[in-house]
Structure 1
Amino acid sequence: MNIDMDRMKKQICFIEHLDRLKQVIRQNLLMNESRRENSAEHSWHIATMAMVLAEYAPHELDQLRVLKMLLVHDVIEIEAGDTFCYDVEGNKGKEERERLAADQVFGLLPSDLAADFRAIWDEFEQGDTPEARFANALDRFQVLLQNFNTGGGTWRIHNIEKKQVIQRMLPIKTGAPSLWPVVESCLEEACDQGMLKDTVASQE
């Protein structure tokens, strides 16, 4: 068997680079509230969720492709960092930052793998396929569960309102509609328990 050592060197370089994702700290707390999670933990968590919740996908999906998307969707944060979804200023220019980061990170791979990984990442970002919509739904659902199980978590810390969370959770409605009743139940209970502000209700 002839081994292309240059190809293997690039693959190993990419794998070593991936380790840096463990250093990217997100806003969300672990469910025991001991610390904030990192992006590698987040990616592992939702990839496993995809296996557990596969039956709630609205279509017959390519589950392997869903898993691939969830495992690589945040790899670009190695270079671009994690931008908090409710940070209006931080989200300005986010798409361009992440596009350039994708060029840099996936560019470490041999050209054929770089094209494959980039296509998977682009598919997730565009959200046009059933697989991408389901993957995006799980990405939002995981954060909902984290905040609900930490007494409000980042909602409470950053004074987030229910209407903001609903807007953020909307991809679940189309990507995994069977999970939407859970979203509504969590948000209702979160408001009742003071984890989340409901300014609309308070004004009525």
Structure 2
Amino acid sequence: MQTKAPPPITHLQGRRTLPLIEAYFELNHLKQLFRQGWLRVGLSRERCESVAEHSFGVALLCLFLADSYFPEADATKVVRIALLHDLGEAYVGDITPHDKVSREEKLQRERDAVERILAKLPRGAEYLALWEEYEHGTSFEARLVRQVDRLEMGLQATIYEHQGAGDLSQFFASVHKALETPELKAVLAELETLRPSV
């Protein structure tokens, strides 16, 4: 797993502190962790987004989309799920399909990591339940976040293509498979018109 720096939690080894501070040092690793799929297609480390940057984009898109396109969704819940959805990667890393890790193994590793981070917090069980809801797609809000997670990847791919990264069609194929709602499919169709000729 390529990272910008070692996990910040290593700075606390042997030291006791507030659970909130410890959780922050753990989740801060998402700022250090590159999105591995972009590196695999040759994007330089200097231009590659971190998992935290991706999660931030997903959370904002979820807010905007829930408010504008999905009034039936609980927008607060959508944003909360979006903020938590990649938390397990702080310990597990950004596992991609190329890593040949089964869905079950990936889910278990990430669940263990999320529980490790959240268990120390006063409302940790509530946050863990939202993360589980996302992973299992047990609510409309969770399924919406899963789709927006992929849509954000398509938006980022378009930007990278404009910056000279070449043809990133493989990422768009993944987005197409993930989208279920007509509203998000329409956003993707519009996005496709903005891609440069590659």
TM norm structure 2: 0.73
- Tell me which residue corresponds to 1:150: 160
> Between the two proteins, what is the percent identity of the paired residues?
29
For the pair 1:129 / 2:131, whether they are aligned, the reply is no
Gaps of 5+ in 1: 1-7, 195-204
Q: Aligned-pair distance for 1:106?
A: 1.8
1:173 alignment partner, one of 166, 180, 192? 180
CA distance in 1, matches of 2:186, 2:165: 22
Look up the equivalent residue of 2:187 and give its one-letter code: V
CA distance in 1, matches of 2:165, 2:81: 25
Count of aligned pairs between the two proteins: 174
Look up the equivalent residue of 1:78 and give its one-letter code: A
- Tell me which residue corresponds to 2:127: 117
- Whether the 8 Å CA contact 2:92–2:113 is kept in 1: the answer is yes
| Deviation digits for residues 89-115 of structure 1 (CA, Å, limit 9, x no counterpart) | 1456322221222222222324xx120
For the pair 1:12 / 2:17, whether they are aligned, the reply is no
Q: In structure 2, do the counterparts of structure 1 residues 91 and 37 end up closer, same or farther at CA, with 3 Å as the change threshold?
A: farther
For the pair 1:68 / 2:80, whether they are aligned, the reply is yes
TM norm structure 1: 0.71
- Classify the secondary structure of the residue corresponding to 2:49: strand
- Tell me which residue corresponds to 1:193: 197
CA distance in 2, matches of 1:28, 1:95: 18
- Whether the 8 Å CA contact 2:34–2:51 is kept in 1: the answer is yes
Q: In structure 2, do the counterparts of structure 1 residues 146 and 170 end up closer, same or farther at CA, with 3 Å as the change threshold?
A: same
Gaps of 5+ in 2: 1-16, 39-43
